[in-house]
Structure 1
């Protein structure tokens, strides 16, 4: 077995109900390269915590659900920080072929239950994607478009919100077309301080989520997801994101 295949085998992880490719929960068939071992161990622990919390949330009493949901959000945020570093480490220690540079062309729709944003933000977009690994099982965003809302009336203020990408990582299965992206987004208000109060959103959008559709042979795909904002004026409000279009070339 070649070194690159050993590394790819070590990368293959458990796809959780979120559709997120995370570090394996069991020991890999071959050793993770030494420089990547610490992040592998960290992701293994975070995976276990996330799995347990998601199971706990299913049967928790209503008063306990907000606390558990907050814990899930915190674990996801930790994963979003560690996983890209782990993936980069694995790529740096792999001799696999260069990544496939693809482009998603389609539409992004974002909704929230905040009364100040009653209309969805819907934009036609072009998003640059990079697919890594021997089987193109890793994906991240290399180019993010400008996504800005229509004017929003918030009390005495008339403002726009621009959606900025802070972090991304994800997974792809070439055979099944299943795909997921972990996104950390900032919703940047164009107000001057102290009125300005940006919000953040850590969300997984994927084909396994309600409304998602796996990628077909032509590259057509729909990713969907939902989560709550944190910080700023949108803190604790619900958000949904749907991304539908086509990836070319298909990985």
Structure 2
């Protein structure tokens, strides 16, 4: 049935979606610094009784980053609690991939076109990764990285690419070849939880899932640490 609960809070958007067969319900709000106040209210709007298994939900997918450190912690904590209480698996999905899928669903990208998915990482850096739109989905060409805009590298065949996300506001600082390739840009685009679902369905089918104790954000920057449930003093 591929019924998935999806949570994405790595950016200014707080986004929750629930797929039930071919039907998708979503709550998506731009709520900077209010994710912790809104997330469970949005979950309650979609699932008033909170009984995930009784609604046929098979897994809880989440945007694992990179992105806002606080936003990633909020999602990871919520997913740990939900999967621990329900006995369901968690499915981590790259926030940059979700953002690329959002762009594709909104018609901002053509099939075969390359996408630079990016986020403002602050302190003069961006998070970014390259993707290709392919057969109704997006294929990762590079892994996520944190770098100065001048360090963004252009993959082969990236002419007439699309730049999406807040990191593209720094296009003037990017190398000339990257600037020349980005014919279109959507700087204000933010990832939506419903676009986690195609990735989660594929990963669930492959068995590429996590237990509650394996849930953790992907910060990209090595110096940031996340404490898993046992490290937080909670019982397994």
TM-score range, shorter chain: under 0.3
TM-score scaled by structure 2? 0.26
Does 1 or 2 have the higher relative contact order (CA < 8 Å, sep 6+)?
A: 2
- Structure with the bigger percentage of helix: 2
Compare CA radii of gyration and give the structure with the larger one.
1
> What TM-score do the two structures reach when normalised by structure 1?
0.25
Of Structure 1 and Structure 2, the greater strand share is in 1
